Every structure is written in structure tokens, then in C-alpha cells.
Chains A and B, each alone.
Chain A
Amino acid sequence: MALITKEKDCHNTNTLKENSPKSEGPLRESFRTKKNDLPVIALVGMPNSGKTTLFNALTGSNFKTSNYPGATVEYSTGKLIEKYNFKAHILDSPGIVSLNPNSPDEIVTIDGLFNHPRFGLPDVVIVSCDCTQLSRQLFLVKQLIDTGFKTIVALTMNDLLDRKGFEISAEKLSAILKTPVIKINSAKRTGIPELIKITEEIFYDDSTANYKSTIHKLGIPTEEDVALLYDYTEDTERKVIESKTHKIDLDEINKKSFHTLSRTPDKNSLKLDKVFLHPLWGIVIFIISMGLIFTSIFWIAQPMMDIVDTGFSSLSSFVSGILPENSWYRDMITNGLINGFGSVMIFVPQIVILFILLGLLEDTGYLARAAMLIDKPLSKFGLNGRSFIPMLSGYACSIPAIMAARTISNRRERFLTIMIIPLMSCSARLPVYALMLAFIVPPDKPWIAGLGLGALYLFSLLSGAVTAGIISKFKKTDEKSTFMLELPPYRTPVFRNIFKETYYKALVYVKQAGPLIIIFSLVLWALTYFPNVNPEIPETKTQGLSSEQVNRLVESERLSSSYAATIGKNVFEPILKPLGWDWRIGVSLISAFAAREIFVSAMAITFNITENDEDEDNFQRSILTSMRTAKSPDGTKPLFTTASTIALIIYFMFAMQCLSTVAVARKETGSWKVPLLQIGLYSVMAYVLAFITYRGLNILGIQ
């Protein structure tokens, strides 16, 4: 029964759907690498259908069970647990509604199903099917069967159906679908052995040896096709769902109560939504929960970040202790490699905390509601409720934030979200802002600095929204913006799963950003170290100084005669002069391309701070003193004035000072267009706005 293979004129296609070609004829199996002799089992299912829990049960890897549609962004693979004596690869994928994709996420999933880069076509497809929403879930099941896959249906949430007073007959469903149907409970591991047994049988079934050549990608269905397919699933639902207590005609129940009892949403969720989506309390709860996430990213992470920082400093001093003094490689390892790795690791605590908290909200089902609440305001700026999570993540780090933007189905909204994420005030800017604010705020009124910091965070949200609004005005589109998001039932989160998922995401961050940051740190190290490796310091200058201070003097001298300084003096100083800055700030800005927070330590070197940075207060005090005494290039007035420091803050708010973000934006958008646009646009914005700020303040009489 090829209900949905009918083709329709391009009348109904949107641009995204062009990625799902119409019937392509049999897919060749040549993609399948011969290396994988093990059978390949793909898990497919609608969002929240219990697919990932099943994956955990089958692989034992305990990969994350997600409660937010589209959370499994990347395919995860595992091997079948050994106790069943059937070796196979298991592929997990993001939840899909239909085999006709509607978002980049779904395109990846569906392409992966038909042509997985590593595994090719799967040998068997197990589709998880939430039997409390049978008429919806059978839609995908039927599509998979029609496509030609060897499909096994795993019925999940039987206990919930039971609670509603109904029962499903797996035998009847199997007879109707002409494919095996197994009831499972992944948490209690019931039905899993049967599921594996039937998978094995189906895999070794010789009568279907050439079945892969019969698999067809379905064309884009018409609305009639969808309606017909639903007629079929409803008809099937009526035949297989029975009342548990005594036989009643389901139509009778339909009349009595809310259409079909088996189609009533979860009652607790309905009650909770009265509060969480309440016009007033909904907003209050939203603001409180987001405020809590936001503050805990900083308060809880800070001590852990200090530990990471101390760890890397002591590793650095340990290594420099065992390597020969004055050798270039000692400096490369300690200042290039270890510091580079340290600047990758320093953000891990924040990323971990952010993902644990987001995971909690996701698993309880609240995150989808939060996206719904914020959709209207964000849509004013050309964004989408789904942009909210990436934007919030952007306050910790742009890298996971850009990765999280994959769940946005509309390409333009996804583009806009990725565009503005670098404007969100990420945690690497914090040390820079802290130093700059400490410079301009009177020391006896530290609360002004706190207030200023809060204002900077709000302003970054505002500047992001305005930028998105402006870009969306210029970039016209005929792609219609949509927001269709399933609000999953509220559930108690499973902490073990959240921790596993967080671990995985932190690992992705380290792997994605790590190599690039380290390579770039090494390049920067070379630029700031060579050619004057061992500068001569006149004895008169070193008299009475400790060896530590002499070392810092050497470092400073080496830097001021390095390639970076040459570039800074000749290229950057003319450009930066209108902003009231000199080459030393220029060199620090170059160094900060590896990670923004390096700016502070680079300043310490360029401004010849001779204090030990182990003692943080002392370090900041001495860097502030150097900033106060530093003179402008012509030597007539101070370099750091209130105006030039505020201009520096404005510069950091906009400048695309992060190479890892560039790399991730390139990877996630598949082209250099977005990262180059970001570099170009935000560099110009940073420069122009810093210039306007500096000159504007000067005109107002603030130096």
C-alpha cells in the first residue's frame, strides 16, 4: 500500500524540502563499507517516544534519555549488550515526526537512515512507538514499513496506557502491520530479550536477502496522502486498543468522554500547564528559573574554575621546573601548550553546569514551555522560541550554543541565531570586563562595577536582538517562519542520564574547540616569543630585583621586540590610535583571538607587570597601577582614560575575538559565509562603536 509515494507538483514544497529528493529509485548498497560485518540496527521514533531509553536498554551505555524534542542532535552509536549473544551495531537518532524532513536536524536524521556515512543502510529498523498516542505514532511506523525497511515495532509506555484503563494487543497490531510488534518496558527491561530475539531472526531471514534493493525513499506526500495515512492509523488504533476492565465499544467511550480516552493528554501535565503557562505566574516562573540558571553559571562555576586555573598553573610551573632553563621549548610547552590547553579547560565547569541545569529543565519538560513563552518577543526580531536555548547557552560559551541551534527548523532563523550568538556576553569576556570596570570605577564603590556588569549583560542581549532585527530587515525571505513544538508530559528527571549527557557534551566541546585553540595558542606563542629569544637587560635595570621580577622584565622585553609587537606597532597602532589605544593593547588583542580572557594576561606581559600573578588581588592591583601610569604613544597623556577604557569594553562586546567560534560556525553552517560575515560585520561594528564611544565621551568632556 503505497499511500504516501504519490507525487505532487512543486506547489507544496518549501526550500528545505528540496533536500529530500523525490523517489530516487532503489538506493545502492555500495555505500555500505565492507568493514562492518556486524548487523546494523537503526532506532527510529517520534520525539519523546522512549527511543533513547530503549537505546540505553539495548546498549547498556546509558546514553541520555531526552524529554525535549530534538535533543539528540547527533547520531549516537553503541553495540548490543553481550548477554544476548547477538553482536550488532545500534544507531540512535534524533526523533522525527515523518520521513519527510522539515528541519536541518531532520534532514540529517533521515539522510543518516538511508545512507549513514559509516554504516550505510541499516539491516533492521526498530521503531519505538508510544502506545498512548498510537494514532500519531503509527504514522511514522507505517511510513517506514512502506519504505521497505525490515521494521520491528517496539511499543513503549504500556504502563501509562494501563493507567488510563486500556490495553493494546501486540498480536493484532502485528497482523495488521504484517511486521513484528513487541511490547517493551525499557526501565524494567521487559520485552528486551524478545525484541533482540526477533531482530536476530529477521536479520537471518533468507527469504528477504535482497530486501535492501527494494528500499525506496518516499516522495513528498500530499495532504490527501497524510489524511489517508491517518485514516489508516486511526482504523488500526480502534482495532488494537481494548478496554482493560470489560469489553466496551470504543465509539461508546468516544461519545461519553473527550473524543477517545486513549487520546487524552497526560492529566498532570494539563494541571501543571495551568500554572507554568499562566499569563502572570508563567512569566514569573520563567524569569526566576532563567535567573537562577544564569547566576549559578557564575556562582557555582567560579570555585571550580579557580581549581582548574590553579591546576594548570602548578602543572606549568612543575614542567618548567624539570625542563632546561632558557630553552625555547620550555617556554613553548609552558606558555603555549599548557596555557592553551588551560584556556580550553577553564570553561568546562561553566559548560557542565549550564548543561546540567538545561538538562534538568529539559527532562522535566519545562524547557519546551520556556521556548513557547519566549517565542512571541523573539519573533519580533526575526528569531524563534527555539532560538532561546542557544542564546542562553551563549552566555556560557558560543561553541555549545551554536551547536544547540541545530534544532531550529527555519534556515533563516537558524542563521540569525548563529549570527548573534557571538554577541551574547560569554564567560571569557568576564575577566576582561572585570579588569576594565575595576579601572574606571572608584575603588571605594565596588557596587558600581557590579551594576555595570549587569548592564553589560543586558546590553549584550539587547545588541543581539537589535542586530538580528537589522539583519532580518536586510535579508528578505519567502521562507515562512514556524513554531511547532511538542510540549512533552512533565516528568521527574533522571539525574544519571543528565550527568551522562552533560559529560558527552563537555567532551564534544573539548574535542571541537580544543585542537584549534591549542594550535592557535602555539602560533600566537611563536609570534610573541620570536625572534628576540633572549633579550639583553642592562644590569642597572635588574639591580635589587628578585629573579621572578627579572624574569618578567625579560619576558616583557622579549615581547616588545617580538614579531607580534612589530605587527602591532606597524599595522595596529595606526588603526587603533583613533580609539586612544596603542600597540601594546593591539598585541593583547591579537593574543586574545585564542580566547578573550587571555587579554588580561597578555596585558600583564605587555605592560611589564613584575608582580607575581599567584596572588590575585596583588596582581590586579599591579596591573591597574601599570594601566594608570601607561602613557599614550606620543607620551603626553595617559593611555588608559575612562573614555579609552569604556571604548575597550564596547570593542569586546562586539568583536569576534574567538577563533573557536569561527571554526564551529564554519562547521555548523557548512560554509565560510556565516563566520566570514561575523568576522567582517562584528569587527567593523566593534571598531566603529568603540570609536564613537571614545570620541563621544571626549566631546562630552570625559577623557
Chain B
Amino acid sequence: MINNNTLEYKKSVADMNIGDSAIITLVGDDCLDIHCHCLRLMELGFTPGQEVTIVAKSPFKDPLAVSVRGTIIALRKGEAECIKINSPTEKPVGKESFRTNGFNN
């Protein structure tokens, strides 16, 4: 499950834009920091295989509001970097994206 090829840059939730969706590939693989909060992120529901969507960003671009498992959770960029993803899709797979729900920017 865990790919240890750390040379390759892995995209994370921090790289996503508002409205993007992606699937989590792994959480906290290259976090060598013993004080990292990857465990708490996973306990909150950010586990590999889950889809995450960026709902909003703070006006200062940080923290991000990320939806996972039906819940919106605010995360700082530093924490979002621990959540690695496959390359973000511009539009979610289904037709039911929030972008079609009005309030377009």
C-alpha cells in the first residue's frame, strides 16, 4: 500500500484548488517529523481511498475547508500536505458537483 519512492513529488491536498476533487492515496508517508498529526488526520476520516473536495479556502489561502466522508473539515496547508492524492481532477466524477450549484465565482 505504501510507496516509499520519496524522490518523486507527490501531490497533496494543499495543491488543490477550490472545487477540485481527488482520491487520497496515502497519508503522511514522508512525514519524518515525530510530532506530525497524521494519525489525527486519519482518525478524522482522511484515509487512503477516500475522495476529498476543496470546499473553500480562507481569504489568506490557508486554512482550507476540505470535505471528506460527508463532513467539512478546516485544515492548515501544512496538515493538508500530509494528505497525498492522485492528480486532482478539474471536475468531480459525477454530474453533481458544487460548481453547478450556483454561486459561481
Interface of A toward B, CB cutoff 8 Å: 10-15, 97-98, 100, 102, 132-133, 135-136, 139, 220-223, 226-227, 230, 255-259, 262-265, 267, 269-271, 273-275, 277-280, 282-283, 368, 371-373, 375-377, 379, 385, 478-487
A133 & B39 in contact (Cβ 8 Å cutoff):
no
* Chain A residues closer than 8 Å to B78, beta-carbon distance: 480
Which size bracket describes the interface of B in this complex?
Answer: 35 or more
A258 & B37 in contact (Cβ 8 Å cutoff):
no
B51 & A259 in contact (Cβ 8 Å cutoff):
yes
* Chain B residues closer than 8 Å to A98, beta-carbon distance: 40, 43
Contact with A along B62-103 (1 / 0, CB 8 A): 110101111111111011000000000000111111100111
* Chain A residues closer than 8 Å to B68, beta-carbon distance: 263
Known A-B contacts A132-B70, A270-B98, A277-B56; the reply to A484 vs B34 at CB < 8 A is: no
Report the nearest B residue to A272, measured CB to CB. B103
In the assembled complex, 19 residue pairs joining A and B whose CB atoms fall closer than 8 Å, in A order, are A14-B35, A98-B43, A136-B45, A136-B71, A220-B39, A223-B42, A226-B39, A265-B72, A271-B102, A278-B59, A373-B58, A376-B58, A376-B60, A376-B62, A480-B36, A480-B37, A484-B40, A484-B79, A486-B72
In whole angstroms, how far apart are the Cα atoms of A139 and B71 in the complex? 14
Q: B52 → chain A, closest Cβ, in Å? A: 9
Q: B92 → chain A, closest Cβ, in Å? A: 6
Q: B74 → chain A, closest Cβ, in Å? A: 4
Residue A102 contacts which of B40, B76, B95 (CB distance < 8 angstroms)? B40
In whole angstroms, how far apart are the Cα atoms of A478 and B78 in the complex? 15
Residue B42 contacts which of A10, A227, A376 (CB distance < 8 angstroms)? A227
B59 & A265 in contact (Cβ 8 Å cutoff):
no
* Chain B residues closer than 8 Å to A373, beta-carbon distance: 58-59
Q: B19 → chain A, closest Cβ, in Å? A: 10
Q: B20 → chain A, closest Cβ, in Å? A: 13
Residue B75 contacts which of A15, A271, A273, A483 (CB distance < 8 angstroms)? A483
Residue B94 contacts which of A11, A223, A227, A256 (CB distance < 8 angstroms)? A256
Residue A264 contacts which of B56, B63, B79, B96 (CB distance < 8 angstroms)? B96
Residue B37 contacts which of A277, A280, A371, A484 (CB distance < 8 angstroms)? A484
In whole angstroms, how far apart are the Cα atoms of A270 and B98 in the complex? 7
Q: A141 → chain B, closest Cβ, in Å? A: 13
Residue B56 contacts which of A97, A139, A274 (CB distance < 8 angstroms)? A274
Report the nearest B residue to A477, measured CB to CB. B35
B63 & A372 in contact (Cβ 8 Å cutoff):
yes
* Chain A residues closer than 8 Å to B44, beta-carbon distance: 97, 136, 484, 486
* Chain A residues closer than 8 Å to B67, beta-carbon distance: 265, 270
A273 & B63 in contact (Cβ 8 Å cutoff):
no
Q: B5 → chain A, closest Cβ, in Å? A: 18
Of B27, B51, B65, the most chain A CB neighbours within 10 A belong to B65
Interface of A is mostly: helix
Does B10 belong to the interface (CB within 8 Å)?
A: no
Does B8 belong to the interface (CB within 8 Å)?
A: no
* Chain A residues closer than 8 Å to B70, beta-carbon distance: 132-133, 136, 262-265
* Chain B residues closer than 8 Å to A100, beta-carbon distance: 39, 43
B39 & A221 in contact (Cβ 8 Å cutoff):
yes
The total of interchain contacts (Cβ-Cβ below 8 angstroms) comes to 175
B102 & A487 in contact (Cβ 8 Å cutoff):
no
* Chain B residues closer than 8 Å to A265, beta-carbon distance: 55, 67, 70-72
A484 & B58 in contact (Cβ 8 Å cutoff):
no
In whole angstroms, how far apart are the Cα atoms of A485 and B45 in the complex? 13
Q: B80 → chain A, closest Cβ, in Å? A: 10
Of A227, A263, A372, the most chain B CB neighbours within 10 A belong to A372
* Chain A residues closer than 8 Å to B12, beta-carbon distance: none
Residue B69 contacts which of A12, A136, A220, A274 (CB distance < 8 angstroms)? A136
In whole angstroms, how far apart are the Cα atoms of A7 and B75 in the complex? 27
Report the nearest A residue to B40, measured CB to CB. A102
Report the nearest B residue to A259, measured CB to CB. B51
B40 & A482 in contact (Cβ 8 Å cutoff):
yes
Report the nearest A residue to B92, measured CB to CB. A258
Contact with A along B15-33 (1 / 0, CB 8 A): 0000001000001100001
B72 & A269 in contact (Cβ 8 Å cutoff):
yes
Q: A221 → chain B, closest Cβ, in Å? A: 7
Q: B4 → chain A, closest Cβ, in Å? A: 14
In whole angstroms, how far apart are the Cα atoms of A258 and B105 in the complex? 21
A486 & B35 in contact (Cβ 8 Å cutoff):
no
* Chain B residues closer than 8 Å to A273, beta-carbon distance: 55-56, 65, 72
In whole angstroms, how far apart are the Cα atoms of A12 and B101 in the complex? 41
In whole angstroms, how far apart are the Cα atoms of A273 and B93 in the complex? 22
In whole angstroms, how far apart are the Cα atoms of A202 and B91 in the complex? 49
Residue A487 contacts which of B45, B57, B72, B93 (CB distance < 8 angstroms)? B72
Residue B55 contacts which of A255, A270, A275 (CB distance < 8 angstroms)? A270
* Chain B residues closer than 8 Å to A487, beta-carbon distance: 65, 72-74
B71 & A368 in contact (Cβ 8 Å cutoff):
no
Q: B39 → chain A, closest Cβ, in Å? A: 6
In whole angstroms, how far apart are the Cα atoms of A269 and B36 in the complex? 30
Of A221, A230, A368, the most chain B CB neighbours within 10 A belong to A230
* Chain A residues closer than 8 Å to B42, beta-carbon distance: 223, 226-227, 230
Residue B35 contacts which of A271, A385, A478 (CB distance < 8 angstroms)? A478
Known A-B contacts A136-B45, A223-B38, A230-B47; the reply to A375 vs B58 at CB < 8 A is: yes
A12 & B39 in contact (Cβ 8 Å cutoff):
yes
In whole angstroms, how far apart are the Cα atoms of A693 and B69 in the complex? 56
Q: B58 → chain A, closest Cβ, in Å? A: 5
In whole angstroms, how far apart are the Cα atoms of A259 and B95 in the complex? 11
In whole angstroms, how far apart are the Cα atoms of A415 and B93 in the complex? 45
